Amino acid sequence: MKIHFQKMHGTLNDFVVFHDLEGEIHMSADQVKWVCDRRAGVGADGIIAVRPSEKADFFMDYINSDGSLAEMCGNGIRCLAKYAFDKGLTTKTSLPVETRAGVKVVELLKGPDGTIEKVRVDMGPPIFDPGLIPVNLEGIASPILDHPVDVDGETFKAAILSMGNPHCVIVVDGDAEHLSKKFGPQIEKHPLFPAKTNVEFIQVSGPNSLVMRVWERGSGETLSCGTGACAAAVAASLKGLVQSKATVSLKGGDLEIVWKGLENDVIMTGPAQNAFTGVINI
């Protein structure tokens, strides 16, 4: 089977994107791994299939590069929205998209030349209930802001929450990138997290700015993570480290996050860009 795809990225978090509105394309975990392999395949952090939805305009079927399903991807949903608009699958500039974490509303923002330059996403409210994150901490008060996580002889104080997928956010003064690479794989699979977790090491660089490095569940080190940036901004805000609007700087670029406190939705704005088109044989 031939699949015509668009290679896309959101702040260098990259995806192989295609649409399958007839439900004809099915890929095994091994096929996903092959497509995402940066030497043997196309190379990507994950695959996004634009599928039909009974609840929204489209369903985002997102699969990590290791073949595992993901509930939500903040950078990915921006790319999906741009893809759907550019391919003529919709003429809307505001559209609901169903994900495994519920329906998210995205707003396409045009640049001076009329093309889609950025996408704003209503990510919904952060989830603090331990059972829904999920995290093995029954009976603990939420939000969880400074829970000790022990790995390899080190103890980190972590904020634990969900943005539709689990996140472990750790504020550090040192080299966030080094810590992410060294401890991210162990924290991802820590017994605290029954469904594994994404791991964010963040540094506060100002009242409205954070630097973040991320180890993603199912993908490893990535250059950006949209849900992770949202989780980082929420955690830092709850700790009183940043204000309600913050720029999260990642290796792949910046994301703008707005969160006005408990009971409010998190709003994320960032770029969605095309890299190239191609055809793969499955």
Residue 161: partners with Cβ closer than 8 Å, 6 or more residues away? 126, 127, 128, 133, 143, 144, 167, 169, 231, 234, 235
Q: What phi and psi values does residue 100 have, to the nearest 5 degrees?
A: -70, -10
Q: What phi and psi values does residue 78 have, to the nearest 5 degrees?
A: -65, -45
Answer yes or no: 225 catalytic.
yes
The DSSP H or E segment spanning 46 is: strand 46-51
For residues 27-45, one letter each, b for 16 or more C-beta atoms within 10 angstroms of the residue's C-beta and e for the rest, the string is beeebbbbbbeeeebbebb
**Which two three-digit tokens encode residue 141?**
């008060």
User: Out of 73, 79, 168, 230, which one is annotated catalytic?
Assistant: 73
DSSP-derived secondary structure for 213-253: EEEETTTEEES--HHHHHHHHHHHHHTTSS-SEEEEEETTE
The DSSP H or E segment spanning 270 is: strand 267-271
Answer yes or no: 168 catalytic.
no
Cα 40 to Cα 18, 36, 69, 162, 177, distances in angstroms: 19, 8, 21, 33, 27
Residue 264 DSSP one-character state: P
Residue with tokens 């924290």: 187
Residue with tokens 């998209």: 97
User: Out of 36, 79, 168, 225, which one is annotated catalytic?
Assistant: 225
**Cα–Cα distance measured from residue 223 to residue 29, given in angstroms and rounded to the nearest whole number:** 23
Q: Catalytic amino acids?
A: 73, 225
